[in-house]
C-alpha cells in the first residue's frame, strides 16, 4: 500500500528575469493574480490535495514569501480596530493554511537543486513538487490527480498536459505508453523537439509526486545543460530502476511565469471574481 503523500516542496529561488524590473525586489511568485499572490494559489492547491507540510525553498531575495504566510499582529490588530472583519479573516487564514518550512537554497543552479536541499525534511516519504509559476485550475486539483495515480501505482508520477504544435517547441514532450485512461508509463522526456520530431503532444509540465529514491538519483546526476542540476536528468536515472508514470491532468494551465500567461490568468480569474467579474466583462466587451 502506498504511503500517504503529506509534504510538498515549492521552489521559489529563481530570479524571475522574465518579469524584470518588477521582480528586482519582489519574487515573481508574489505577483498578484487579481487579489492573491501566485504562490498562495499554489499553496491552496497543495492543501486542497491533502498536503500538510509546505516546504518553500527560497533565496535571500524571497523574504516576502515567508512574511506572507506568517501572522502579522500589527496588521491584524489594525484591521480589527477598523472593523474590517472580512479582511482580517482572510489574512489570518493565509497563515493557518499549513505547516510552513523554509529552506535557503544551496548548491548549483538548476531545478533539481531545491529538491535536493529539502532531503533532510522529506526523509523516506513520498512527496510532491510544484513549481511556483505553474498554475493549473481544475477539479479535482492537479496535485490531487497526481496523488491518486501515485496511490494506485506506488511509483513517481509526472504531470502530462496536451499541447499543440507550438507547445512542442516550448516544453519537454513525453514518449510514453498508455496504461489506463489518462495514465501513461514514461519512456523518456524529449526536450523541446518541435512538431516534426515530437513523440506525442503530451508535455511534461510542473507538478510531480516523487518517491524518495529521487534524492539518490539527484546526488548521482552530473550537471547538465548550462552546468545546472536538472530534475529531468535525475528522473531518467530513476526510470532505469523503477517505473515512471505520467497523469494527463484535467484543468486549465497558466504559465504565470510568463507575462502573457500571467495576463491571461488575471483576465480569467478576474472574470470569475464575484465582485469584479461583471464590470471587467463590460470593459472587455467595450474594447471589441
- C-alpha to C-alpha distances, 188 to 164, 177, 245, nearest whole angstrom: 19, 10, 11
Same domain, 24 and 98: yes
Question: Could you read off the pLDDT of 235-268 as tens digits, one per residue?
Answer: 999 999 999 999 999 999 999 989 999 999 999 9
Answer yes or no: are the C-beta atoms of 160 and 191 closer than 8 Å. no
Q: How many domains does the chain have?
A: 2
Specify the CATH number for the domain of residue 107. 3.90.550.10
Pair (154, 176) in one structural domain: yes
Check whether residue 171 and residue 74 sit in a common domain: yes
207 in a structural domain: yes
pLDDT tens readout for residues 55-67? 999 876 668 888 8
pTM above 0.85, yes or no: yes
Cβ(158)–Cβ(246) below 8 Å: yes
Q: Does residue 2 lie in a domain region?
A: no
- Give the list of residues 6+ apart from residue 35 with CB closer than 8 angstroms, or none: 273
60 in a structural domain? yes
Backbone angles phi, psi at 190, to 5 degrees: -95, 120
Instruction: Report the alpha-carbon distance of residue 222 to residue 230 in Å, rounded.
Output: 9
Residue numbers of the domain that contains 77: 7-257
Name the one residue in this structure whose C-alpha cell is 537543486.
Answer: 113
Exposure b/e, 101-118, CB count within 10 A at least 16 = b: eebebeeebbbbbbbbbb
pLDDT in tens, 21-72: 888 888 888 999 999 999 999 999 999 999 999 999 987 666 888 888 988 8
Amino acid at each position: 500500500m502506498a504511503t500517504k503523500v503529506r509534504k510538498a516542496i515549492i521552489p521559489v529561488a529563481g530570479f524571475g528575469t522574465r518579469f524584470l524590473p518588477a521582480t528586482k525586489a519582489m519574487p515573481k511568485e508574489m505577483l498578484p493574480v487579481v487579489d492573491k499572490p501566485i504562490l498562495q494559489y499554489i499553496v491552496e492547491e497543495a492543501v486542497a490535495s491533502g498536503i500538510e507540510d509546505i516546504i518553500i525553498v527560497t533565496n535571500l531575495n524571497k523574504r516576502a514569501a515567508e512574511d506572507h504566510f506568517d501572522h502579522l499582529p500589527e496588521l491584524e490588530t489594525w484591521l480589527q480596530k477598523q472593523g474590517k472583519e472580512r479582511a482580517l479573516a482572510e489574512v489570518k487564514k493565509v497563515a493557518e493554511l499549513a505547516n510552513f518550512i523554509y529552506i535557503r537554497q544551496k548548491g548549483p543552479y538548476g531545478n533539481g537543486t531545491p529538491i535536493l536541499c529539502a532531503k533532510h525534511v522529506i526523509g523516506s516519504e513520498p512527496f510532491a513538487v510544484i513549481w511556483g509559476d505553474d498554475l493549473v485550475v481544475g477539479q479535482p486539483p492537479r496535485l490531487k490527480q497526481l496523488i491518486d495515480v501515485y496511490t494506485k501505482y506506488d511509483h513517481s508520477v509526472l504531470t502530462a498536459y496536451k499541447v499543440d504544435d507550438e507547445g512542442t517547441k516550448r516544453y519537454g514532450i513525453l514518449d510514453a505508453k498508455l496504461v489506463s485512461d489518462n495514465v501513461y508509463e514514461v519512456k523518456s522526456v524529449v526536450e523541446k523537439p518541435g512538431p516534426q520530431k515530437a513523440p506525442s503532444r503530451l508535455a511534461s509540465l510542473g507538478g510531480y509526486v516523487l518517491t524518495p529514491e529521487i534524492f539518490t538519483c539527484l546526488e548521482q546526476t552530473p550537471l547538465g545543460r548550462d552546468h545546472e542540476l536538472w530534475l529531468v536528468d535525475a528522473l531518467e536515472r530513476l526510470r532505469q530502476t523503477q517505473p515512471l508514470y505520467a497523469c494527463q491532468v484535467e484543468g486549465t494551465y497558466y504559465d504565470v511565469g510568463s507575462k502573457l500567461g500571467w495576463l491571461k490568468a488575471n483576465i480569467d480569474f478576474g472574470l470569475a471574481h464575484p465582485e469584479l467579474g461583471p464590470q471587467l466583462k463590460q470593459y472587455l466587451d467595450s474594447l471589441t
